[in-house]
Structure 1
Amino acid sequence: MLGPKHKTMAAATLSGLCVSTLHKQPNSTVPPRSAAIAASCSVRESLKERAFNEKDCCTRRSILTGIGTLTAAGLYPASFAFAEEVPDKYQAFIDARDGYSYYYPSDWRDFDFRGHDSAFKDRILSLQNVRLSFIPTEKKDIHELGEMEEVISNLVKNVYAAPNQTPIIYAMQEKNIDGKNYWTFEYELATPRYSRVAFATISIGNGRQYTLIVGANERRWSRVRDKLKVVADSFKVLDI
């Protein structure tokens, strides 16, 4: 992946998208920064046949008017049928071709983030953003990567952190949604000049290891943490 592919955006009602709160694992020695929230996840959908009629569309679209039935049109599996609505002030991004979905704040705009499949950011504060990437893998589940604590520690320290950044992991959580396992963790990357805090959610499916990261500047984290937690919890791998 050299950059985000342009997608067709569809809104759909999401039910059965289990959102759980972030909490400290029994073996964790570092307390979470604050109590995490539980958020009901769902996505309003419109479009039966238009969702993928444009084979090579040049821009993503947000289609949030009306209520259709994507599952009836054969665009999504039966398990991806939803009853509840998208949380207020969020929109749903659904990529049925690459097999994933998540929410993002409705006032954010999409942008190209090098090496990522999709990304959205705050219109003013660019460090406040969400991005999604994936890499091919022969593994079927994140448990095949190893122990959660070891895998997450290695990712944050050796993959996410730059040489001049000090990594701090605050909490980590495992959850299961529709038979797929997800790890979500909160971490900070600090430098002498500034710090960034983020949630990351990883999962494996469709022969890919997906990673969603949503974060902000540390100075704003206490104000936007709960808002961004909804995004991290909303990530879901779809069968393709």
Structure 2
Amino acid sequence: MAVSSLSLSWVSNTLSNKSKLLHSKDLHRATAFSLSNTIACSRETASDEESNCKRRLLLLKIGILSTTFLPASSLFAEEIPKNYRAFVDSADGYSYYYPADWREFDFRAHDSAFKDRYMQLQNVRVRFIPTERKDIHDIGPMEQVIFDLVNHIYAAPNQIATIYDMREKTVDGKNYYTVEFELTSPNFSTTSFATIAIGNGRYYTLIVGANKRRWKRYRDMLKVVADSFKVLDI
């Protein structure tokens, strides 16, 4: 019953919080930034936004950037994998790696998203909704939670869902469920990883996927993204 209630909450909160999520994205974008071995603007921007980006980079270089931009996370102590960048949103409390050649884009009702510059279905996106739960275990056993999410939340009415694998892990005292699944439509199929977690009074979801035909080739690369997702304390 707990999962069914969550499903209903997901649907009802999506519309009511859509405006809030988009506003939050704009409001906190200054505190969410990409890191790589070299400082660079990773986003393809309009002229005004490009100027803002360059101004932030200048502040980084001369050491004036406020310390509130830095999340309380061990991420900065880790070595970012080769050919990846780290996206850190200290205001909304999460981080993850994404392929270095991907570009940021707006994905409706999501807080952040990046995609392959050529393959639109090859992307990663993160969203969150409010919750009174304290931990992912509060929703239910992994098998039950994953089954309901894939079949009743992720899959559209005209799609057939197939679950290939599901795993649980604990990092820095926080619990995560990760699932590998496929959604088959009449005209195309996609395969994805989804990682879910609860923290900061929020239910977080990261999904990274690709066209089914490209999955075998890029699966390991996308798994790095799914496994890198972390909830940060805010």
Cross-structure match for 2:85? 91
| Equivalent in 142, 166, 171 of residue 177 of structure 1 | 171
Q: Which amino acid aligns with 1:202?
A: I
The reply to whether residue 207 of structure 1 matches residue 201 of structure 2 is: yes
Return the structure number with greater helix share. 2
The reply to whether residue 10 of structure 1 matches residue 4 of structure 2 is: no
Cross-structure match for 2:117? 123
CA distance in 2, matches of 1:230, 1:103: 7
Deviations 1:20-72 (CA, angstroms, capped at 9, x unpaired): xxxxxxxxxxxxxxxxxxxxxxx7697xxxxxxxxxx9579598998999xx9
State the Cα distance separating 1:88 from its structure 2 match: 1.0
CA distance in 1, matches of 2:116, 2:157: 27
Cross-structure match for 2:107? 113
Q: Which amino acid aligns with 1:121?
A: K
The reply to whether residue 132 of structure 1 matches residue 126 of structure 2 is: yes
SS at match of 1:92: strand
Cross-structure match for 2:98? 104
Cross-structure match for 1:192? 186
CA distance in 2, matches of 1:233, 1:67: 30
SS at match of 1:188: strand
The reply to whether residue 225 of structure 1 matches residue 214 of structure 2 is: no
The reply to whether residue 147 of structure 1 matches residue 141 of structure 2 is: yes
CA distance in 2, matches of 1:221, 1:103: 18
| Equivalent in 126, 131, 153 of residue 159 of structure 1 | 153
SS at match of 1:193: coil
C-alpha spacing 1:91/1:163, structure 2 compared with 1 (3 Å): same
Q: Which amino acid aligns with 1:184?
A: T
CA distance in 1, matches of 2:191, 2:208: 9
State the Cα distance separating 1:83 from its structure 2 match: 2.5
SS at match of 1:82: helix
Structure 2 residues not aligned, in runs of 5+ = 1-17, 40-47
Q: How does 1:45-64 map to 2 (within 5 A)?
A: none
Deviations 1:88-145 (CA, angstroms, capped at 9, x unpaired): 1111111111000111111111111111011111111000000000000000000000
Q: Which amino acid aligns with 1:10?
A: F
Percentage of identical aligned residues: 59
C-alpha spacing 1:121/1:177, structure 2 compared with 1 (3 Å): same
CA distance in 2, matches of 1:68, 1:229: 36
Are the counterparts in 1 of residues 72 and 232 from structure 2 also a CA contact under 8 Å?
no
State the Cα distance separating 1:201 from its structure 2 match: 0.1
SS at match of 2:67: coil
CA distance in 2, matches of 1:121, 1:187: 19
Are the counterparts in 1 of residues 93 and 231 from structure 2 also a CA contact under 8 Å?
yes
Cross-structure match for 1:216? 210
CA distance in 2, matches of 1:126, 1:181: 30
TM-score scaled by length of structure 1: 0.74
